[in-house]
Structure formats: structure tokens, C-alpha cells
Amino acid sequence: MSSTPGSSTPGSSTPGSTPTPVAPTGGTPPLAKRVTVPSVAAAPSRGERLVVVTAYDYPQGRTADAAGVDVVLVGDSLAMVVLGHADTLSVTMDEMLHHVKAVRRGVERALLVADMPYGSFHLGAEATLANALRFVKEGGAQAVKIEGDRPQMIAALVQAEVPVMAHLGLTPQSLHRLGGFKVQGRGDAAAAELLAAAERAEDAGAFSLVLECVPSDLAAEVTARLTVPTIGIGAGPACDGQVLVYHDLLGLEERIAPRFVRRYAELGVTSREAIAAYADDVRHGVFPAAAESYGGLPAAPSSAQAGGDVQKLYG
């Protein structure tokens, strides 16, 4: 797992307003109606495939929302793609909450889901509920995601009015138990156990289920058995929706390239080229040019004039 204030550029907004959704090139404009937990849960009955993307800050949340995704997940992949750790285990509850708050400010239409980090749901129902409530009350999340076969924990959260997205298959927080990042559910016994765990998650009240790195035929069988939607990542095309990490689909994460990732852009390369061009211009004295400089600054404005003069300064 930006615009100038006051401008009328599609997708921009003034503080406190609702951004205007921008239709992806070649696609259809996203619906204005807000996505809710019940609407996500009922997506399979409507024959609609769910689009899920991770995000970790305000501009990423705003970009994903404007592109028309259904669910924005603040994933614990934050640890790897933003904070530079080798796995997801190091990210803390406070770090996750900080980023959920930032993404919340950029998301208007999509459902916002917060990932419960490693250690936040391992010390019993009381501690789990306290952490989940922080995501909802302080962070503005509308649901949480929890990894592993944990029907009792899911039920406790649902009972406390915290919607839960379950997560089975490769659960990165179980890295040490699983012996690495490996495909799960291979073989009859493992497949049967994953199917049973999926049914337990639904029975406990989960409104959706992420299936990560499981064989396509097994994901298809889980999808056929459940009423709630499955969301695949490395689980084949039969799932009711798909999720990709923001940095993976845009080519910003270049250290690893999982088989299930399709790059829709190479922003890592583009960013390096742009910064290298800027550095070259600075070193050769061609930036800033006259058009990017000021002739002479006016006297300091009064407090009544300050707002307008700031606009002129940056205009």
C-alpha cells in the first residue's frame, strides 16, 4: 500500500471547499456522491468493480480522490515507501495517525480507510479498540483495516461501530512467521484454511476483504463464496476490486518491483530528470531569469493590505 488558492483550475479548491473531481484522461468522470461503507459492501451486487489506492499525505489523497477512486487506504506500507524502512513492522501508531490526518484533508468523496499497524491490535480487544477509535475520532477515518485471521477482533470493532476491512493471504505484518514475502494459499490444506478464514471474517462483520498474493483460482473461489467484496493485490482478475500502492503504480518506488504491479507512470525517473535540469540551470546561472525575479519590493504592507499583497507577490 496541488494548486494555487483561489484558482479555478479543475480539481482545485479554496480552504474548506469541496474539490471538483477531475476525470482521468480517456476515462469517465467520477461520481460526485460520497462513497460509504454500505456502498462498498454492496458493490458486487451492483456489478461494480472497486478501485482502491493507497495514499500517505494531503496531495496524494487529493490526487487519488480527484481521479475518482472508490477507497483511499492509508497503508502501513507508509513504513517502506515514505519512511524508508525495509518492511512494515517499524511504523508506529502515532506515525500512522499523523498521515491519516493529512490524507483526510485531501479526500472528499472516497472512503478513507486506516491501516492498523503492527502492535496496535496485538494486545487484546481493549487496546485494539482504543487505537481504532483514535483513527476514527482524531484521524477522520471511516474504517480500519486489520491483518490476519482475527474474527473475534473484527467482531469487537464492528460492535463498537468501527467498520473493518479484513486482510488475508500474504499479510506483511506476519513477515517473520511466514518466512518472507511469499505467495500464500498454495496446496489443498492452505487453500482450505484461507477459505475458512475468509468466511470467518465475513461472519464477524467485515465489510470487505483484501486478498494479497494468493493464487488466482483460490481468489476466484473466495470471491464466489463471499457476499462482501474481495479486493485483490497479486490475487488475479476475479476479485471484486483491486488495490495498488500509490508509489508503485506511479513508479516512485524503484527499490522493489513486485510481479503484481503495473506501472502507469515513471514519476521517479521524471522527478530525477526535472531536479537535475533545475540543478544544471542554477549552476549555469540561467535560473532564475528576469521573468522569475522582482524589480523592487514595495514598502511593508499594513495588516489590512497584507492578504492582497501576498497574492500579488506570488502572482
- The residues annotated with a catalytic role in the active site are 212
What backbone phi and psi angles, to 5 degrees, belong to 235? -130, 15
The residue behind cell 504592507 is 301
CB 80 within 8 A of CB 4: no
| 220 vs 230: CA distance, rounded Å | 9
Contacts 24+ apart (CB under 8 A), 149-155: 149/197, 149/200, 149/201, 150/121, 151/200, 151/201, 151/203, 151/204, 152/125, 152/204, 153/121, 153/125, 153/128, 154/201, 154/204, 154/205, 154/206, 155/204, 155/205
> Could you tell me the CA-to-CA distances from 187 to 2, 110, 128, 193, 217 in Å, in that order?
48, 37, 33, 10, 12
Look at residue 66 and give its three-state secondary structure.
Answer: helix
Report which of 204, 203, 202 is spatially closest to residue 229, judged by C-alpha positions: 202
Q: How far apart are CA 209 and CA 225, in angstroms?
A: 12
Q: Cβ(237)–Cβ(230) under 8 Å?
A: no
